[in-house]
Chains A and B, each alone.
Chain A
């Protein structure tokens, strides 16, 4: 039986979006392994996404499009996509998640700038259907052309998150992540901008019980703790993803946002 995957995709002025959608549509159409539905949130792009172009790229793959009238940030867009996916069929409440009647088997967060490969989405989904609750992409274990400066920055982020969240990840800020229905229901992002990645790690850390490398223990259905694994993925560094990716100056903004969130509580930092 095909695995039912909800893709949570934020988009802001993405030139590579249509090719990403076309690749996902190919998986949806051809392989028969996955039924994919994309929950796309246009985060206030200067030129709103054209329905015709989206339709042409998506083909038979359903895409649910929501639009922020102003740009809020990637974290806010992922949270909107998450709520959209969980609200689908207007009836998916926690009772149904527990009884295994969720409309999707796997929820995947994925960037729209073409850096993530749809084939990796399938691998992450496989890990979740095999028993993991959270499968995190690890670009350092896959065939990724990570630029040296980005590698250094990500290592600093990894150490920072190890200290602040207690979770020892190999790749702290990889946007390709897969969640089981019960895991996605427990994630709730309040940081609007790039600090959402640290926030997500923190939430996973609090809810998880184990972390392994591409190796998952059987889920203990009685346990409330989530099982977390890291999965090797390839990240393609395009000119667009290099231009929009995190920079050293952005790291300062993330720390300030986290500090504001700590000081002022739930908000939008």
Chain B
């Protein structure tokens, strides 16, 4: 198994190392950090030893080693994107209900036939309508 040191490999592994170094200093979640180290480690190994990816690809009936990495990555990214959108959608719906509940609870009458009154309760306000 040959290690192929190319300029692209150096740049990519360097990028992974820099990201990892940054996350080690900032992330407090040790489980997440361990997972990241494993994933980045596998990624760096595949970059430096592309023959491993090629052999795995052939074993699974995929032509190129890079495709072996790329296909599942695209599927995973699409899934993550959909899940993130759904989560954002749900969070926004929750926020809407909270903001609306606050608005309804604090609604009050302005103007109307009793201009001297200020900020009565919602039921008071509505009774004047």
Name A residues whose Cβ lies closer than 8 Å to a Cβ of B: 6, 25, 37, 40-41, 51, 54-55, 57-70, 72, 76, 79-80, 83-84, 87-90, 103-104, 190, 192, 260, 263-264, 266-269
The prevalent SS among residues of A at the interface is mixed
Residues of A within 8 A of B118 (CB): 51
A198 to B111, CA, bound (A): 34
Q: Is the CB of A54 within 8 A of B96?
A: no
Known: A192-B96, A264-B89, A268-B89. A66 touches B103 (CB 8 A): yes
The answer on a CB contact under 8 Å between B129 and A62 is yes
Choose one: A64, A83, A88; the contact of B100 (CB below 8 Å): A83
Q: Which A residues touch B61, using CB under 8 A?
A: none
Chain B residues with CB under 8 Å of chain A are 82, 85-86, 89-90, 92-93, 95-96, 99-100, 102-104, 106-113, 115, 118, 122-123, 125-129
A89-B123 contact in complex given A55-B115, A260-B85, C-beta closer than 8 Å: yes
Does B100 lie within 8 Å of A62, measured CB to CB?
Answer: no
Report Cα–Cα, A80/B97, bound state, in Å. 9
Residues of B within 8 A of A190 (CB): 93
Decide if B107 touches A70 in the complex (CB within 8 Å): no
Assuming the A-B contacts A55-B115, A88-B129, A89-B126, are A67 and B106 also in contact, with contact meaning beta carbons closer than 8 angstroms in the complex?
yes
Specify which chain A residues have a CB less than 8 angstroms from the CB of B103 in the assembled complex: 41, 66-69, 80, 84
Residue in contact with B85 in the complex, picked from A40, A76, A89, A264, CB distance below 8 Å: A264
Our pick among B93, B95, B126, B129 for the contact of A90 (Cβ within 8 Å) is B126
CB distance from A62 to the nearest CB of B (A): 3
**What distance in Å separates the Cβ of A257 from its nearest Cβ neighbour in chain B?**
10
Instruction: Check A80/B111 contact, CB under 8 A, given A67-B106, A260-B89, A264-B90.
Output: no
Report yes or no: A64 in contact with B129, Cβ–Cβ below 8 A.
yes
- List A contacts of B128 (CB < 8 A): 62
Q: Which of B99, B104, B112, B129 has the largest count of A CB atoms less than 10 A from its CB? A: B129
How many whole Å from A57's CB to the nearest CB in chain B?
Answer: 8
